[in-house]
Amino acid sequence: MYRRRKTVSIDGAEFTISPLTIEQVEQLVAPAEELQENKSGIVRVYEMICTSLNNAIAGGASPAEPWTPARIKHELDQYTVAWLQDQVLAMSGLRAVAESPTGESIAAAPMTAVS
């Protein structure tokens, strides 16, 4: 399977990402009301980033340890996670819209992708 890959860097750290497939977008990106019923926004963000990083690994970028939400929480900081989310969404042809009906900060608000 052909996968586009892109190496992105922030403060000397490099990540190879691949866009989400249409099927992955349908599974990982949901309207805010659905997030309220199922998973928190940040859990979806972790899963989306892991999926993109693992897509790149599966596409032959490098033989590396698979990414998991636990690995993201252990190895990355909040700023890098938000930046990676933006990179993955952009490469997948999507954009993030922060929604905060309860006055939460934008970083903690659930993210909804819109094409």
DSSP string across 64-94: -PPP-HHHHHHH--HHHHHHHHHHHHHHTT-
The answer as to whether 49 is a domain residue is: yes
So what's the pLDDT on residue 50? 93
Residue 1 lies in a domain: no
Q: What is the pLDDT of residue 62?
A: 57
Average pLDDT for residues 26-39, to the nearest whole number?
63
How many domains are there within the chain? 1
Identify whether 75 is part of a domain.
yes
pLDDT for 21 equals: 81
Give the span between the Cα atoms of 95 and 86, in whole angstroms: 7
How many percent of the chain have pLDDT more than 70? 67
In this predicted model, what pLDDT tens digit does every residue of 36-86 receive, in sequence order? 555 677 888 899 999 999 998 876 655 678 999 999 999 998 889 989 999
The residue type found at 102 is T
H or E element in which residue 95 lies: strand 95-98
The pLDDT confidence band at residue 34, using thresholds 50, 70 and 90, is: low
Residue 16, domain member (yes or no): yes
Bridge partners of 68?
A: none
Residue with tokens 């819209």: 97
CB 55 within 8 A of CB 92: no
Note down the domain range covering 10. Answer: 6-114
- Residue 94 belongs to some domain of the structure: yes
Structural domain includes residue 105: yes
Contact call for residues 96 and 111 (beta carbons, < 8 A): yes
